[in-house]
Amino acid sequence: MSKKVFVFFPDGVGLRNFAFTKFKEIGEEKGYQIVYWNNTIFSLKDQLGYDEVKIENHKTHPLTPVYSRIRKHIELNFSQKKFNDKVYETYKFPFGYKGFKNTLKTLYIRLLIGFNSSQKGIIRIRKRINALERSTTKYQYCKAQLLEHEPDLVFCTTQRATQSISALLAAKDLGIPVVAFVYSWDNVPKAMQVVEADFYFVWSDLMKEEVLKYYPFVKENQVFVTGTPQFEPHYDRSLFKTREVFCSENNLDSSKRYICFSGDDETTSPLDQYYLEDLAKVVRSLNVKGENLGIIYRKCPVDTTTRYHAVIDANKDVIRVLDPLWKAAGKNWNEILPTKEDLGLLHNVCAHSEFVTNVCSSTVFDFVAHDKPCIYFNYEQPQLRKGIRDIGQNYKYVHFRSMPSQEAAVFCTNKADLEDQVKQILDKKLSNVPDGKKWYEIVAGENPSGASETIWYNIKKIIE
């Protein structure tokens, strides 16, 4: 009898990796019955014809977000003290004191942080969160679903969603093995491990070391290095379109060489539009000197701001907007969900661009997978004022310490150098690809095209 695996989506971030890639197809080929345990507003049954069990009760305990914030602050405080490193302070969001209720809430949070700033305190807070979630109707609701469907294993597609806590506690309390996939390359040092699972699947040896370093309650035999399906579409040749077809479908000039500008969210790069403007000026200058260049602007999928509009309108002759094929299923940023079609669009944007420019994004790896360079902007804009976040902070984060050398990306540290760097890359005189590939392997593992296979191999080991 085939084993039943619940693939759990507490939110929409895992859709791209585990619903739209060949992950399901590979699992079924190996004989698994795959059921999507779906806590999102996206219907996998209606949209994709997949077998799903919908979670209709979405209510976490009202205190869970409060205690989760307390947990995160304590873990970051502990890391800062343990490693004598101020970088952990920069991962915290500022407290709010606007209004009487917010002030009271902040004082309560800070009081509990003060009383629990130790390893024992972290465990106390985690136990408190679990007790709160076990008291909810959602816990009982999820437990009933598990008793009805009897999965052999629950595979949680992200470790960072509070919406997953009650469901995974229900599974553990029923003796069903729980695996949590660590979703992103920067998540572990940022104290974003919300759930406690029986096993953790991580991208690389580096990420395994981090999990064991930051979470001493996790043992080595609980952590499996699997890679991530995130980059698998770049190796799927069925997604590739010829340059003529790609340009025709997207109103691009096939005679031009295009540079991709990959936009950031407003928190990461609040002045991002001015870097796009700088690139447009460089493209204009180089075109006057004989080049035939254009810009493909691909925004951050969850960015709903209008901050780029003026720059795009002023540079319509050189900037072509190719929005990610994501769909808004609600009003919140986390209800903007990926689509399967966007995997093909991103594949071809990488394949048909000369290189990518952005601020500190993991798109460096998307492009390196296609042997394409990346320029990271790392200079201040004159519009920088007090209260606006300097992007230079991003490159000091722990996950950037994984770079094997400063040549793993092309850093533009002075606006005056941007034109020369662009020209050198176009002329094949400058590239981060050799060291970028080494960095890619450090972060994403040795086999980025075979992560789904490795995940199913380890699921089999756990079930057996």
pLDDT above 80 (res 294): yes
- Asked which of 93, 116, 131 is the last residue of a domain, the reply is 131
pLDDT above 70 (res 86): yes
Look at residue 386 in the predicted model and tell me its pLDDT.
83
Domain enclosing residue 154, as ranges: 4-60+136-227+448-463
pLDDT above 90 (res 84): yes
Percent of the chain with pLDDT strictly greater than 70: 99
Mean of per-residue pLDDT scores for the chain = 95
Q: Is 265 helix (H, G, I), strand (E, B) or coil?
A: coil
What average pLDDT does this structure show over 362-375? 98
What average pLDDT does this structure show over 75-102? 92
Same domain, 31 and 160: yes
Better-scored residue on pLDDT, 355 or 267: 355
pLDDT above 80 (res 332): no
What average pLDDT does this structure show over 393-406? 96
Residue 357's closest CA among 447, 425, 441?
A: 425
Same domain, 74 and 196: no
Same domain, 284 and 411: yes
Same domain, 122 and 102: yes
For the stretch 228-254, pLDDT in tens is 999 999 999 999 999 999 999 999 999
CA distances from 226 to 137, 188, 350, 444, 449 (A): 34, 16, 24, 9, 11
- Tokens 């003796």: give the residue: 175
Same domain, 165 and 313: no
CA distances from 445 to 64, 182, 368, 376 (A): 34, 13, 14, 22
In sequence order, which residues have a C-beta less than 8 Å from that of residue 237 and are 6 or more positions away? none
Same domain, 218 and 244: no
Same domain, 220 and 250: no
Look at residue 350 in the predicted model and tell me its pLDDT.
98
Same domain, 326 and 426: yes
The β-bridge relationship of strands 153-156 and 178-181 is: parallel
Same domain, 322 and 378: yes
Same domain, 459 and 345: no
Give CA–CA dist 27/458, Å, rounded. Answer: 12
Look at residue 20 in the predicted model and tell me its pLDDT.
95
Same domain, 286 and 309: yes
The β-bridge relationship of strands 374-377 and 410-412 is: parallel
For the stretch 120-141, pLDDT in tens is 999 999 999 999 999 999 999 9
pLDDT above 80 (res 331): no
Instruction: Describe the crossing of helices 119-134 and 165-173 by its angle, rounded to 10 degrees.
Output: 90
Look at residue 254 in the predicted model and tell me its pLDDT.
96
Same domain, 181 and 114: no
Residue 68 banded pLDDT, cuts 50, 70, 90 = very high
pLDDT above 70 (res 333): no
Counted domains in the chain: 3
Percent of the chain with pLDDT strictly greater than 90: 91
What average pLDDT does this structure show over 164-174? 98
Q: How many CA atoms lie within 13 A of 446 on its CB side?
A: 3
What average pLDDT does this structure show over 85-105? 91
What CATH number has the domain bearing residue 409?
Answer: 3.40.50.2000
Least confident of 87-101, 131-145, 346-360, 430-444: 87-101
- Asked which of 72, 101, 131 is the last residue of a domain, the reply is 131
